[in-house]
Structure 1
């Protein structure tokens, strides 16, 4: 092998090693990022498990129990911003419902004030009278570990899931409710006709128009057993993201029905 050929071979070996080193660095960095995200998810899960224990609705409580007894005194000592508790039997949805002064804080903070990728389940900050207004919007992340509002996307999968989870429980310090799911759709976060908080309580015509609008987008329309909804009803819209880039959102609508009995 000539001197020139040896030099060329040496350069090729050097470039090969450099590329392999770069790939190794990328793999190490990617692994570190995945591990970091996993640990943050785990930390959030542990924090929510602890909150459930404080609320008296932890693992020791039968998740199929008819109604939960929430320890509101304990929760309000942690944060005055807690407005309720949401549970969907047979799913991981078992979380406090928060409401802040804006719609940013609880995207990445939990009830204790700790930073978390999971954020909180929270009510739109513009709603003055949650669960007593015609429309209450509740947000939550759709986490990759199936937590928070991830399971909302399953309403689109088949009718069996809807039948099994067509009632979601919502508890507040004042009253207990059942949320009777009647619709779901993929919408844009910028769609003001869906995210409409400017409907006056006495404006029956606008309420009817809103109901007709969301029913026209309802992807559960063919399911049997969906409930009817009227302008006299209270609607709760659960909103979460999709995994597609952009401003697409999954929304699930339910009619709020007050339960009888003590909620303490």
Structure 2
């Protein structure tokens, strides 16, 4: 959350439900100096999943971009088919965009917040590869997880190279650019999870094609029966999985799934 000591952050805004538009983005752009009014809008998906990557989408918006394609909403409010239909239109509409991932192994190694940063940085690198660079980041939620803590001094002094962040609760419901970033991230992550299931092997037993790695009943039942796979976030407290004294899933829990595949 924005504080008085974080002088380079532009604020944190709470909003109610609205139809997404570019009103917030235009207001923020007007606060920026002329010649640098490119705004980045970012959202994440997969943070609460038990398996698969955490994924971040980012859309860059300049002053010339028009209204977003009809039907753009927070990805959670759209059917899978509606999201997929929107993707080509969003890619044509956005001046630049990117999607980045952090793997389950990275989540286990560095924690979910650092993994979010990694995914966000990767998404931003893709979006900026064409030369368009943002002067401000609009981030969904009330917490700036994008900025690395070491980039903020003891007195709140920021490195000039640090991208200022404006957080907004439920920005994906209010801001077309954030909703677009959410859709791009959701479609790409879902496709990755479907691909895992279709590749066969262990993953198909967990219903990833449908549950996308979240805690659906079929997924939980498979975890209890087979234990975690390499696609699971093994440092987490996975339901139905026994843990050793150090808090890691037991080797037996992970081996049952592998053994069943080998015996097919």
Superposition TM-score tier, normalisation by shorter sequence: under 0.3
More strand by share: 1
More helix by share: 2
Which protein has greater RCO, CA pairs closer than 8 Å, 6+ apart?
A: 2
Q: Report the TM-score, using the length of structure 2 for normalisation.
A: 0.25
Q: Report the TM-score, using the length of structure 1 for normalisation.
A: 0.25
